[in-house]
Chain A
Amino acid sequence: MSFDLPSSLTKPGESLDADALASPPKLRKSRGYWADVWRRFRRNPTAMIALCYVILLSLVAILAPVIVGTKPIVAKYKGQLYFPFIGYLIPSWEDPLLIKIELRGRYSPQQMKKKDPESWALYPLVFQDPTRRVRKGEWPNQPGNPFGDQGKPSGYNFLGTDDLGYDVFAQLVHGTRLALLVGFVSTSIAAAIGITLGALAGYFGGWVDVVISRLIEVMLCVPTLVLILALLAVVDRATVWHTMVVIGLTSWTSIARLMRAEFLKLKTVEYVAAAKAIGATQTRVMFRHILPNALAPVLVPITFGIATAILIENSLSFLGFGSQRPNASWGTLLSSAQKNLEMWWLVVFPGIAIFTTVLAYNLVGEGLQEATDPRLRESAK
């Protein structure tokens, strides 16, 4: 059952020890709703594996400049400490004087030693770059990256290189950041819009509901990809951030509909009437009393929405409308295989990356659905 009894009551056989008899049974604080959901979620091995994978991906996204790159993590150069790897995350933070004048952005050990014999640097695990082709002589004994259709996976390029000679492994690892960011930002925008509009429509009803429901229907009637392409074209030089905003602006309808239904249901519940009776304001009733109780069912479409957002971004990149090099997303790599069909590694590895990420988010969503759905909960016990 969904409510929790103190364990001393549920298992009478075990509670008959001296302690329990001596003192009146202590009422344990009943588990909160989210703790309960988490307990159910944890029991689902597939969902847990998927969640671990998502966490692993986040780690890869954060640590990408440490895993693969040509910019040292720490470098001592002419008596000063530098952290050039930051340039992969925020390009303007990379020390401009050092890049432009002294080293021209190339931190190869030989070049640094030539200019300053005292210098040292700590490099990422793999010396490859997602934004350019690594040339011969940059790293001791490492040949230049092959380009054209020659870049089969090799010891120096684990997953091969693309037609321009950029390392595929480096692009995939650095692309993780973009993929997760897209999922996070777009879905946050979609959730914010969807929850607000759905809550307003469900709570106030009347003409507010009519207007918002019409808006939802309008959104459903415009083909999503057309809307996205048109909006992106309007911005002219679309960046990744534009793409994220546009995806967010076009994918809030399912969340809004669910939220509206929840609010419709919850606004007639006793505790809402009680809150109103003691004089709570409408905003307070909406946000403090109803919203927390309506959030659980919305969490499921939000998780699925992350998977969809990543899919959409990659398909936009695939069509040539999303991120461009040097900020390649997985879809950009995949689309570069279109012209070079013989380069199977440009299909297989980005394909695996997209597939596993989407699968993981879907499985987490599935697990959440099972953990939060009261009907499934009843039957599970």
Chain B
Amino acid sequence: MLSYLVRRFLLAVLTLFIVTLIVYGLIRFMPGTPLTMAQAAMDPSRKLSAEDVKLLEQAYGLDKPWYVAYFYWMGNVLQGDLGKSFKERRAVTEVIFTRMGPTLLLSGTSLLLTYLISVPIGLFSTVYSGKLIERGVSVVLYFLYSLPSYVAAMLLLYVFYFRLRDTVWQLKPGMVSDGFSLLSLHRQVMDVGWHLILPLFCLTYGSLAYYSRFVKANMEEAIRQDYIRTARAKGVGPVGVIWHHAFRNTLIPFVTLLGLSLPAVLGGAIILEQIFSWPGMGTLFFSSITDRDYPVIMGLTLMYSVLTLAGQLLADVLYAVVDPRVTYS
């Protein structure tokens, strides 16, 4: 097990190196630098002088060729320094950290909801497999699965933020209302909760179909096994058979899925966060690319890659933990 982990770790480090090198090269090849992007947005009378630009370029390593600058960046990362954001003039770790909360709130809740709803649906579909009601449920879920979340989000935006505006729905897009800091704690929680509903719905409904089909597919395989017949023959009730005997045996692939969804939980949903003006990682990702905020792009890429690799490793390790038949040696 240990040698397996060491080998996986070394491979992951290699992958990280390649990923960051590619992304670093790519963003340096994008036309425009953070300095020109910032200047274009600036008041023309306050343009930077040529010397100032030189100084800034030196400070951010823009005067060096990209492959040299990359190693400077990597050296800093190895010392725990992700650099400073061009735009916000704060440490990248700090910028990312402030955005992590909203994204975690949105995607974490969504993932939890997905599991809570899709497992019962999956079990229900297994029990009523082939019946009219099951077919109905699966058709509805499949339609939802094919409905792109940004289409649904735009529809909800129209209904709630235009049609119902000033009547039942008095919110503006975003995570909090104006004057949020003046509210009491209870009111603050309520306020965020109300803002959360629509993006949460859009993020969750699509994955419901995927997860419940996943549960059903695994259950279908499980209930055909001999031990289920044995359990039935012993007189175990239908609930007991489904829950204790069949479902518990389908948990193994479920664990894998959990590990693989790790990057999505922290990576955020770029389009949905954009539509609902949710101040999370997705919006940060998007704005950092349009602003050419190199350190932030690199920081986010690094985080995303680490999470992806960690998720894969976690899935494989958990696999061995929950299934004693699997060993890595």
* CB-based contact A230/B162 at 8 Å: no
Query: Looking at the complex, which one of A221, A231, A341 makes contact with B158 (CB distance below 8 Å)?
Result: A341
* CB-based contact A341/B19 at 8 Å: no
**Does any Cβ of B come within 8 Å of A5's Cβ?**
no
> Shortest distance in angstroms between A352's beta carbon and chain B's nearest beta carbon?
9
Stretch at the interface among A167-175, A285-293, A313-321: A313-321
A84 to B162, CA, bound (A): 42
* CB-based contact A234/B29 at 8 Å: yes
**Does any Cβ of B come within 8 Å of A182's Cβ?**
no
A284 to B248, CA, bound (A): 47
Q: Which residue of B lies closest to A348 (CB)?
A: B155
Total count of chain B residues near the partner, CB < 8 A = 43
**Does any Cβ of B come within 8 Å of A142's Cβ?**
no
A158 to B132, CA, bound (A): 37
Q: Which residues of A contact B286 (CB under 8 A)?
A: 229, 319
Chain B at the A interface: mostly helix, strand, loop or mixed?
helix
Stretch at the interface among B20-28, B44-52, B59-67, B87-95: B20-28
Q: Which residues of B contact A337 (CB under 8 A)?
A: 154, 158
> Shortest distance in angstroms between A180's beta carbon and chain B's nearest beta carbon?
17
Q: Which residues of B contact A230 (CB under 8 A)?
A: 23, 26-27, 30, 289
Q: Which residues of B contact A334 (CB under 8 A)?
A: 150-151, 154
Q: Which residue of B lies closest to A220 (CB)?
A: B308
Stretch at the interface among A14-22, A191-199, A275-283, A353-361: A353-361
**Does any Cβ of A come within 8 Å of B299's Cβ?**
no
* CB-based contact B151/A221 at 8 Å: no
A358 to B151, CA, bound (A): 12
Q: Which residues of A contact B267 (CB under 8 A)?
A: 223
* CB-based contact A218/B22 at 8 Å: yes
Query: Looking at the complex, which one of B142, B145, B162 makes contact with A342 (CB distance below 8 Å)?
Result: B162
A218 to B18, CA, bound (A): 7
**Does any Cβ of B come within 8 Å of A351's Cβ?**
yes
A residues 316-332 near B (Cβ < 8 Å) are: 318-319
A172 to B103, CA, bound (A): 34
Query: Looking at the complex, which one of A217, A222, A307 makes contact with B23 (CB distance below 8 Å)?
Result: A222
Q: Which residues of A contact B297 (CB under 8 A)?
A: 226
Q: Which residues of B contact A (CB under 8 A)?
A: 11, 14-16, 18-19, 22-23, 26-27, 29-31, 142-143, 145-148, 150-151, 154-155, 157-158, 161-162, 263, 267, 270-271, 274-275, 285-286, 289, 297, 300-301, 304-305, 308-309
Q: Which residues of A contact B (CB under 8 A)?
A: 214, 217-218, 220-223, 225-227, 229-231, 233-234, 236, 307, 311, 314-315, 318-319, 334, 337-338, 341-342, 344, 347-348, 350-351, 354-355, 358-359, 362-363
* The 7 residue pairs across chains A and B that have the minimum distance between CB atoms: A359-B146, A221-B305, A351-B151, A233-B30, A341-B162, A230-B26, A347-B154
